[in-house]
Amino acid sequence: MNTSRKIGLIAGPLLFVLFYLNAGALINEQADLVVAVASWMIVWWITEAVSISVTALLPLLLFPILKVMEINAVGANYGSSIVFLFFGGFVMALALEKVNLHRRIALTIIHLTGTSPNRVILGFMLATALLSMWISNTATTVVMLPIASSVIALLITDEDGFTKKDKNFAISVMLGIAFSANSGGIATLIGTPPNSVMVGLLENEYNIQISFVRWMMFGVPLSALLIAISYVLMVYVIFPSKGLKFSATNNVIKSQLDEMGPLSGKEKQVLAIFGITVFLWIFRALINQLFPELKLSDTSISLFAAISLFAIPHRFKKGDFIIDWKDTSKLAWGILILFGGGLALAKGMSSTGIVDLVAQEIATSNLSVSITAILLIFLMLFMTELMSNVALVAVLAPVVVGIAIGLNIPILHLLIPVTIASSCAFMLPMATPPNAIVFASGYIKVSQMAKIGILLNLISVGLLTLVFQFVMPLLF
């Protein structure tokens, strides 16, 4: 255990005790008790003294003991509909991975984009982004890394050795995978966990729902724009590999595709269920208009997909199913608990008046709406370089809601850009799992990631400010 974890392990409970012993001195007794729990959670989340999912269980233990909320009321947050929306998404991702369909999709896209160095980089980025819209960015990066390594190996073993252009190409491929995995998750509601924490808060506390399609209306273009900007910066400005030629790349990709053979029966079955699910998500509003008794929700559609993957047999006589319950040992249960912990903390902050207090303070301040939005986006984006973006959104989202109320602007206008900022961490290896995974490949230095990452971070702040100013008012 490193020093920061040791310090955090002790500092978290100590900070809790300090606030607990002085309950009533800051806001009021109940609110101060929530602040005490929040301070413990924040310290453990920042230092990762224990698993961030274990930290998320603290409200379930402490809120009833402190008489902030009854245990049933706290527990309801861990069973929120948003938790089950993501459960269904995780099961779909599990099925895609089990039948190796995600790898086939990635290889096919790279194969179709062409063999010139820049087009190969683009192919990797497009494939990564597309997968990251539906499965975890960590799983996506893990799939893409060996494919990328096999292509880079061609340059290492060719007759001129590993030249500067070769190195630039390797850096661009690796960073392209990481940046596309981060940006791709922005495109859909289930693409990245912070989105779900935000949507859960809106549904639980304010009865505001965002449909899958409404999110994609701004999520997909924003994701595409970030990927395009990072591609141009990498291949034309910071790490150019102009003049680099290699013809064997397509052979490597094609041989890997050929090894997979034609689509298997299970792959076709998963593809069909996946296609139907996406279709239902996209046309849910229209279907509900035609058949109002159905009352389809994004969560019910997600659960339909999950149950179908468990219940529709691939071979009826043999009792062979696409996935069995034992496969869920690979499912990200900890993330689901983390959602619940974030929602429980948000409920405590709202029910004890902390959010209202923030709103009042902002309402009496002299900062303009635009400056406040820029500062919040900047704060979220650069803080997420150092701590878990899910944990950060869980803590800051209720505060941002209070600020929006204080500024007398629609909650969604401010909360959505600030939440998306948590997925725009491009600068440091520890910021996101994709960054860490590609850094571990050995082809990238921290200075190289930071060099382009700081530019992308600042560009992201600018883009999200424009989203706040012009896009949100149009859609919400």
pLDDT in tens, 366-410: 778 999 999 899 989 988 886 778 878 888 898 899 899 988 999
Does residue 337 or residue 464 have the better pLDDT?
464
Q: For residue 416, what pLDDT is reported? A: 96
pLDDT at 198 over 70: yes
- In order of 14, 142, 172, 176, the CA distances from 239 in angstroms are 47, 23, 7, 11
Residue 67 domain flag: no
Q: For residue 88, what pLDDT is reported? A: 86
Q: Are residues 40 and 100 in the same domain?
A: no
Residue 14 domain flag: yes
Number of domains comprising the chain: 2
- In order of 149, 152, 160, 178, 236, the CA distances from 241 in angstroms are 17, 13, 15, 19, 8
Q: Are residues 132 and 9 in the same domain?
A: no
Q: Are residues 167 and 19 in the same domain?
A: no
Q: For residue 368, what pLDDT is reported? A: 86
Q: Which of 313, 330, 347 is the last residue of a domain?
A: 330
Q: Which of 279, 296, 330 is the last residue of a domain?
A: 330
Does residue 182 or residue 436 have the better pLDDT?
182
State how beta strands 313-315 and 320-321 pair.
antiparallel
Residue 393 domain flag: no
Q: Are residues 101 and 193 in the same domain?
A: yes
pLDDT at 365 over 80: no
Q: Which of 299, 330, 361 is the last residue of a domain?
A: 330
Write out the DSSP string of 436-455: HHHHTTSS--HHHHHHHHHH
Q: For residue 13, what pLDDT is reported? A: 95
- In order of 21, 91, 92, 408, 411, the CA distances from 328 in angstroms are 43, 8, 11, 44, 36
On average, the pLDDT of the chain sits at 87
Q: Are residues 15 and 163 in the same domain?
A: no
Residue 338 domain flag: no
Asked if residue 220 lies in contact with residue 467, where contact means CB atoms within 8 angstroms, the answer is no
66: helix, coil or strand? coil
How does DSSP classify residue 312? S
Q: Are residues 140 and 41 in the same domain?
A: no
216: helix, coil or strand? helix
CA atoms within 13 A on the CB side of 416: 29
Residue ranges making up the domain that contains 39: 1-50
Cα angle for residues 100, 105, 106 (degrees, 5° grid)? 100
- List, for residues 139-191, the tens digit of each pLDDT value: 788 888 888 888 887 766 655 656 788 889 999 999 999 999 999 999 998 88
Distance CA 118, CA 123 (A): 9
Q: For residue 158, what pLDDT is reported? A: 58
Q: For residue 465, what pLDDT is reported? A: 96
Segment 447-464 mean pLDDT: 94
Least confident of 144-153, 221-230, 465-474: 144-153
Q: Are residues 30 and 166 in the same domain?
A: no
Q: Are residues 36 and 99 in the same domain?
A: no
Residue 407 domain flag: no
Q: For residue 162, what pLDDT is reported? A: 67
Segment 447-460 mean pLDDT: 94
Token pair, residue 318, equals 């043999």
Residue 374 domain flag: no
Residue 30 domain flag: yes
Q: Are residues 261 and 167 in the same domain?
A: yes
- Phi, psi for 164 (deg, rounded to 5): -60, -40
Count, residues in the chain: 476
Which contacts of 466-473 are long-range, i.e. CB under 8 A and separated by 24 or more positions? Answer: 467/218, 467/222, 467/416, 467/417, 467/420, 468/373, 468/377, 468/413, 468/414, 468/417, 469/370, 469/373, 471/218, 472/218, 472/410, 472/412, 472/413, 472/416, 472/417, 473/413
Cα angle for residues 383, 191, 342 (degrees, 5° grid)? 55
Distance CA 50, CA 54 (A): 7
Banded model confidence at residue 249, pLDDT cuts 50, 70, 90: low
Q: Are residues 103 and 203 in the same domain?
A: yes
Distance CA 133, CA 184 (A): 5
- Phi, psi for 79 (deg, rounded to 5): -115, 25
> Of the candidates 306, 238, 271, 289, which has an alpha carbon nearest to the alpha carbon of residue 452?
238
**Which residues are within 8 A (CB) of 264 and not within 5 positions of it... i.e. 6 or more apart?**
99
Residue 167 domain flag: yes
Q: Are residues 7 and 149 in the same domain?
A: no
Which amino acid type is present at position 10? I
Distance CA 247, CA 265 (A): 33
Token pair, residue 67, equals 């008489």
320: helix, coil or strand? strand
> Of the candidates 408, 380, 376, 411, which has an alpha carbon nearest to the alpha carbon of residue 394?
380
- List, for residues 110-126, the tens digit of each pLDDT value: 778 777 788 889 999 99
Q: For residue 400, what pLDDT is reported? A: 92
Q: Are residues 308 and 177 in the same domain?
A: yes
Cα angle for residues 440, 231, 219 (degrees, 5° grid)? 95
Q: For residue 161, what pLDDT is reported? A: 59
Banded model confidence at residue 250, pLDDT cuts 50, 70, 90: low
pLDDT at 361 over 80: no
